Structure 1
Amino acid sequence: MNDMQSIFDLQMADLQISDIQSELTSIEDTLSSDGDLLMINSRLEKINKAVEIKESEKKSRERVITDLQSKITELQGLLYDGVITNEKELQALEEQRVYAAGELTSGEDELLEVMIEIEKFIDSRNKHRSAVDRLMEKKSSDLIHLSARQKQLTSKLDEKKSDRHTLVLNIPADVLALYEKLRKNKAGQAVSKLEGRLCGVCRVELPVKELQDAKAGVRLVQCNSCRRIIYVN
């Protein structure tokens, strides 16, 4: 195996290693991410607080209604038990009863509105709880799938790193140093495969001399434009 073949194989190994590492990072991010769950739980907490406030308001309005009902019953008793016969007193009692009855009607309407609001909040709460359950179920399923994939990729990564180590042993130190420098400066791709007369990456045509030397394999040839190492299959 000549130096250029070893360099090309090293490039392929490094690209595969990079892809594996990227996927592993993505898996780790997914497994550790609770953003969706935190958002839903935050909304659920606000809904629970709203229900609590409305339930308290409901009890307060129910107490007011109970008091009004008791007052109306008391006034009706005074009006119709025959104890009070004075016309003015009876008229005053009737006015109080009518006013209390109006307050009772308003109170019952307001209570109904509160109860409707509570029902809406409870419906929303149930939907959010269902969303949490679905999300937890999905996370549980994802955990099984992604953990298995993570284990598979980790094993594959170890294998590729071992292959890389073997390849490095077949490459002269100066060529390896150039490769590593280019890989760092060229977004991980130090080697370009020759396509006809063109650099496979930047698509610039090689001069005749470089083209001949690259094809003959007599020396290491770099693209005059992007400076990547030229590999001829």
Structure 2
Amino acid sequence: MSRISTLEHLQAVDQELDDKTKRARQVAERLAGDPAVVAAHAALETEDKRLAELRATLRARELEAKSIDVKIKEIEERLYSGRVANPKELEGLEKELQMFKRQRSGFDDQLLELMDSVDQAQKRVAEKAAALKKLQGTRAGDVELLSRERDTLTARLAELAEEHDRIRAELDADALRTYDHLQRTKAGRAVAKIRTLSCGVCGTAVPTGLMQRARAGNELVFCSGCGRILTG
């Protein structure tokens, strides 16, 4: 195999190495965590927290309502027991009773609103939990597929790394130095194939004599337009 053909082969291996490495990184990120699942879990936690707060508020209001019920009962017992005979005291108890009953009536409205809010919050929690469960089910299947792909990529990357080292060992230092420089400065494409008498990358016309030298493969021939190594 000529030096240029070897460089072309090295570039193909390097490109596949780069592609497979990027894909392996993507697979690793997806295996580490699915953004959709994370978002769904956060949404469920938010609704759970809201439901807990509503339930706590409802319990507190219920306790306050029961406390008022106790006071109403105590006042009614005093009013109707016959033990209080003083008209002013009776009038005061009656006013106090009416005040607590008004408060109790207001609590009834609050309790109804809170119970409705709790019901709605429970529905939202159920919906978020169902959405999360569905995503987790899909995620389980994805993880299995991604794990298999990761194993395949790992094996292929090991093969490519070995081939990469083997090819570089066949090339002389000058060729490698030129190739490495062009790989860095030409977006990972140091070698350009001649297609229809033009550079396959930049499209610059390649004179017949230059094309023949490139195809012979005995020397490094460069595109006059982009500076890449030409291969026939």
TM-score range, shorter chain: 0.7 to 0.9
| Whole-angstrom CA distance in 2 between matches of 1:194 and 1:50 | 66
Which AA in structure 1 matches 2:228?
R
TM-score (norm 2): 0.83
How much is the aligned-residue C-alpha RMSD, in angstroms? 2.7
Structure 1 SS opposite 2:193: strand
Q: Which residue of structure 2 aligns with residue 126 of structure 1?
A: 126
CA contact (8 A) 2:8 2:191 kept: yes
Larger mean Cα displacement after TM superposition, 133-142 or 36-45: 36-45
Instruction: Describe the superposition over 1:30-60 as per-residue Cα deviations: whole angstroms up to 9, x where unpaired.
Output: 1123654444444444444433333232222
Larger mean Cα displacement after TM superposition, 138-147 or 70-79: 70-79
Larger mean Cα displacement after TM superposition, 14-23 or 160-169: 160-169
CA displacement at 1:23 relative to structure 2: 0.9
Which AA in structure 2 matches 1:176?
L
Write out the 4+ residue segments of structure 1 that deviate beyond 6 Å after TM superposition: none
**Residue correspondence of structure 1 range 70-149 to structure 2 within 5 A:** 70-80=70-80, 89-149=89-149
Aligned length: 232
| Whole-angstrom CA distance in 2 between matches of 1:50 and 1:222 | 68
CA displacement at 1:6 relative to structure 2: 1.9
Q: Please list every run of 5 or more consecutive structure 1 residues that lacks an aligned counterpart in the other structure.
A: none
CA displacement at 1:217 relative to structure 2: 4.1
Q: Which residue of structure 2 aligns with residue 163 of structure 1?
A: 163
Which AA in structure 2 matches 1:18?
D
Q: Which residue of structure 2 aligns with residue 206 of structure 1?
A: 206
1:177 and 2:177 aligned: yes
Which AA in structure 2 matches 1:167?
I
Larger mean Cα displacement after TM superposition, 144-153 or 217-226: 217-226
Structure 2 SS opposite 1:203: coil
Which AA in structure 1 matches 2:201?
V
| Whole-angstrom CA distance in 2 between matches of 1:2 and 1:87 | 121
| Whole-angstrom CA distance in 2 between matches of 1:85 and 1:197 | 121
Q: Which residue of structure 1 aligns with residue 3 of structure 2?
A: 3
TM-score (norm 1): 0.83
| Whole-angstrom CA distance in 2 between matches of 1:174 and 1:40 | 56
| Whole-angstrom CA distance in 2 between matches of 1:180 and 1:214 | 19
Instruction: Describe the superposition over 1:85-123 as per-residue Cα deviations: whole angstroms up to 9, x where unpaired.
Output: 666555444433332222111011111222222223333
Q: Which residue of structure 1 aligns with residue 188 of structure 2?
A: 188
Which AA in structure 2 matches 1:228?
R
Larger mean Cα displacement after TM superposition, 103-112 or 158-167: 158-167
CA displacement at 1:214 relative to structure 2: 2.4
Which AA in structure 2 matches 1:14?
D
| Whole-angstrom CA distance in 2 between matches of 1:32 and 1:144 | 13
| Whole-angstrom CA distance in 2 between matches of 1:110 and 1:181 | 76
Q: Which residue of structure 2 aligns with residue 224 of structure 1?
A: 224
Identity %: 28
| Whole-angstrom CA distance in 2 between matches of 1:34 and 1:146 | 12
CA displacement at 1:152 relative to structure 2: 1.0
Q: Please list every run of 5 or more consecutive structure 2 residues that lacks an aligned counterpart in the other structure.
A: none
